[in-house]
Structure 1
């Protein structure tokens, strides 16, 4: 397919553009293979470059005015949550632009997307695609006698959604892994997520398959018991309600039989609406943004709509479950297995937030990147299908799910309660939100490592390579950061949870003052650092002078003693 086949009108003059915080402007519209370019005719005015993949939906509204029946408007609702209106005076031009944008924004072949065509104008300092390999991330753990690297899944036949390199208990051989995979939904056998400093381990998996021919798996039991001592107990945190887990039994799934896992105690933390991929979370996200974009609401009605969207309720549920798991690991010193049905959405949400709570490294720039790479990309979170559409879409696809947005919002909630414990600001979280939906980088392409290998994303640039450039990294750093090695325990009370204004309201309420305040804070802190540096230099100079003075005094005393002796 040639892109030219989809572009019916490459350039159009006389388009009136309406967007946030700007008066309507007369603009020229250009449609290229990957971008929609909107340029104002006035000098030194705005120019907007939109990736076609950033457009969630294109709505067409025809003119109903009798005095001007021609043309109409296109409403571009974007995955970064902004809304742009284009007024076009000619009906044929309107239809041609609509057709072009609708087709180009709905390409489903990743190899045709912009990351494979993007060529940076800067030098790549490090290969982000290979920055967080399991061998490097778990190097300290692998140096022990307890864990090893397995390549049993190198061709992705044991589990299609896991990576090719796995960290497993040293006492577990590859045959045991293969047998255990057949006992779990999608082959997602218990896998290491994190090992706490006290030795407790966090594992994740999918649900067990309890059909008539396979009611028990000694291999699965062996893997789980391998992380326990002979008398140690463990917890299985099931992110489904007990009722839903029982419903799964009718389909061959369910929960681990208590009689076969006597050392493990099961606890249900209901996140069913996230686990099931039933579209409920996307519907909640849509209701949230409908309320945000409704400028006619009274304050009371707006608050009511925010509450009825249930978005913050989902946040509260995830944080609640994560705190429970973190408490088991940190305070009880007990290993935990987390799973739902498929071991994807709710499972990865919980295991990721647990690590941000427990592990101070995950609160640094590189640590958060490593967490996302390890716990989402390598763990097989299907970004391609989950993020192909966002909150504005009219297409009802249960595979579309803003789970990763929930994760970023949960991190934002932690940041809001512990602002000095994070090396990065929420600006980095906003960037991650955007690039997970559309990007010039290949990091979030595909649904798993096997997909990315087939796509050969090594031909693309990694988002991590970009974010870790010194000039970009500086803009992400939190000026108030004070490294905190301790576990952070958030409040999960509703009154403690806040709407993420920097993300959801940024196209409704200008963030200029917030940016100025941050810039002023950074300037003051830098000035303070400069003063401290100067003070340190002065103290050193004073110490040097004192030493020199002491040396002169000592020399004078020696001379005086010599004279007295003579």
Structure 2
């Protein structure tokens, strides 16, 4: 293959997780492989799409050439080559193999499992008719119906082919209503609660604009959604069965200012004067750019800790002993990243939805801007807590297929599967041969150039990864309520980026199901669920503590909760296993007192009185002054105790 300048390099030193071994680098069409000289050690395989950053540094004083490879699964390989030519050849080869120009170049389009998987129905695992039928559409209630209005994806290109809408609403009404929602993503059912007729529908933002546009058809559609409690056994709206609810919610996941600001772009948020059967709640969850930057700060903190550890490894024993009081990982920097605050905000919004559907027997319509990021997070996490079926292995797969894959989460864009040459950093050639100082300065310039041009990654964001972290938080609080274990979630995160399977490569159902001049991708690639449903994986991913009897609605034990999980959204911590760290390193002693001492762990502001912006200026100064004095006092105490 032309892209591979060197297929094999021997005598390479590899440092991973603080352990250095010698071995051989092999470059294939789709993987970088490190084969250890020690036969007891297992080979390290790195699929090229898993690579997030490759850095080639100038020659060391010992004449070796270092190359660092960082992955999207938060691992780091530090490779030391004997010659600069080998390092350059590996660097250039990996760069050309990683930066794909088309999705069909990715591993999934070449991968053939050998031997074949025992089960090969992953692409048909989720059937809308079966899944919504399980919820009771068409049987337990006649208030909802299937429509094939989008069967050829021309009605709403980013939506699934089969939609569920209120029976009272005709397809003609839908044809008008679809024009009022961004990207044509009009309100459609995603969940019907088993305990009552409460529902979760999802959509994108309305196209209100500066002229305060409204759509009678959109208003009628949402009114019909919020009245599906009425006579659920008939197709007409007569007298209510047990009264219309008054807590129907329109959830706008965005901060209020963001939602209002979108009116300048012709969009915005609902004018509640026209949606009288509901109230609106803004959740204040930040956008994809804030989430990307927040995770980047976590990754930077981890990387700095690795660099510090590498520096300390070169110290004498006496120097190392003197530095033992200082932790390698900066937990303060981790908390300042805001990552746990964002996790808590998503969980708090999901808990609001769970309570409204289950306790209040009401309806919830969720949207953010386009309805494929924050909307998917809130919708899927809420359903995971409302319905025990989604906490089984098969049910979880169906939930991901329904609310993420089918409803059009932009996996290709958000995961950055095609990568970019901006993630490959090398020292600029220095023809003058000015020495190490000039080489280091040139390398710094190349790094600054990378961060000066970020347009290539403006659509990437760890949205699905973030949702997996939320699932782990709930799983940690309710360890007996999930059929799958933590390994299952870790494997799913790995294959989100490995590009070995076709499930997470595209932005829409249409792109997976419709072939452009040939067989569709679903016929050309293997589904990730075929891998997860193989007997070896099923065995490894089962939770031995799973107790399905706890989900029985008839259970009257002290722990009984009708199978609905009401988690604590403030009880969040870093998923240290995902980042390859220990609980003590990432969470440490702060976990026990996080809610009391660390405002970074707090969830969204619940009342205006809690917002510093709404505190009078004189009081605000005193509040900020008290905070600063407390911080200084803690810092002095740390100094006295030898921690700083």
| TM-score normalised over the length of structure 2 | 0.73
**CA contact 1:56–1:105 (8 Å) conserved in 2:** no
2:394 pairs with one of 345, 360, 366: 366
CA deviation string 1:192-234 (max 9, x = no partner): 1111121011011110002478812122122211223364442
State the shift of 1:321 in Å: 0.6
1:192 matched to 2:189? The reply is: yes
Partner of 1:562: none
**CA contact 2:108–2:500 (8 Å) conserved in 1:** yes
Per the alignment, in what secondary structure is the counterpart of residue 481 of structure 1?
Answer: coil
State the shift of 1:400 in Å: 0.7
State the shift of 1:451 in Å: 1.5
State the shift of 1:329 in Å: 0.9
2:257 pairs with one of 231, 243, 256: 243
Q: Relative to 1, partners in 2 of residues 1:488 and 1:361: Cα closer, same or farther, differing over 3 Å? A: same
1:131 matched to 2:141? The reply is: no
State the shift of 1:333 in Å: 1.0
Larger CA deviation: 335-344 vs 301-310 = 301-310
Q: How does 1:56-71 map to 2 (within 5 A)?
A: 56-65=52-61, 68=63
Provide structure 2 residue ranges, at least 5 long, that are not aligned to the other structure.
Answer: 231-243, 310-325, 424-449, 552-562, 586-644
Partner of 2:347: 319
Per the alignment, in what secondary structure is the counterpart of residue 8 of structure 1?
Answer: coil
State the shift of 1:102 in Å: 1.1
Partner of 1:77: 70
C-alpha distance in structure 2 between counterparts of 1:240 and 1:325, whole Å? 15
Per the alignment, in what secondary structure is the counterpart of residue 157 of structure 1?
Answer: coil
1:420 pairs with one of 480, 500, 520: 480
**CA contact 2:343–2:470 (8 Å) conserved in 1:** yes
Q: Relative to 1, partners in 2 of residues 1:508 and 1:93: Cα closer, same or farther, differing over 3 Å? A: farther
CA deviation string 1:384-421 (max 9, x = no partner): 1101169x956732211001111011111101111011
Q: Relative to 1, partners in 2 of residues 1:63 and 1:300: Cα closer, same or farther, differing over 3 Å? A: closer
C-alpha distance in structure 1 between counterparts of 2:494 and 2:503, whole Å? 12
**CA contact 2:73–2:579 (8 Å) conserved in 1:** no
Per the alignment, in what secondary structure is the counterpart of residue 17 of structure 2?
Answer: coil
Q: Relative to 1, partners in 2 of residues 1:108 and 1:136: Cα closer, same or farther, differing over 3 Å? A: farther
**CA contact 1:10–1:31 (8 Å) conserved in 2:** yes
State the shift of 1:146 in Å: 2.3
C-alpha distance in structure 1 between counterparts of 2:257 and 2:582, whole Å? 41
Partner of 1:224: 222
Per the alignment, in what secondary structure is the counterpart of residue 17 of structure 1?
Answer: strand
**CA contact 2:502–2:521 (8 Å) conserved in 1:** no
CA deviation string 1:64-115 (max 9, x = no partner): 42x62xx511111011111001111222222121111012112141111111
Q: Relative to 1, partners in 2 of residues 1:53 and 1:301: Cα closer, same or farther, differing over 3 Å? A: closer
Partner of 1:443: 503
Partner of 1:460: 525
Q: How does 1:13-412 map to 2 (within 5 A)?
A: 13-20=10-17, 22-25=19-22, 27-65=23-61, 68=63, 72-124=65-117, 125-140=119-134, 141-144=136-139, 145-197=142-194, 198-211=196-209, 215-229=213-227, 231-233=244-246, 234-271=248-285, 273-274=286-287, 277=288, 279-293=289-303, 294-295=305-306, 296=308, 298-299=326-327, 302-388=330-416, 396=454, 397-412=457-472
1:472 pairs with one of 529, 537, 541: 537
Larger CA deviation: 294-303 vs 189-198 = 294-303
What's the C-alpha RMSD, in Å, of the aligned pairs? 2.3
Larger radius of gyration: 1
CA deviation string 1:211-265 (max 9, x = no partner): 4788121221222112233644421011122222211112111111222211121
**CA contact 2:302–2:329 (8 Å) conserved in 1:** no
Tell me the number of residue pairs that the alignment of Structure 1 and Structure 2 aligns.
Answer: 497
**CA contact 2:59–2:84 (8 Å) conserved in 1:** no
C-alpha distance in structure 1 between counterparts of 2:52 and 2:584, whole Å? 21
1:497 matched to 2:491? The reply is: no
State the shift of 1:22 in Å: 3.2
**CA contact 2:295–2:339 (8 Å) conserved in 1:** yes
State the shift of 1:450 in Å: 1.4
**CA contact 1:315–1:410 (8 Å) conserved in 2:** yes
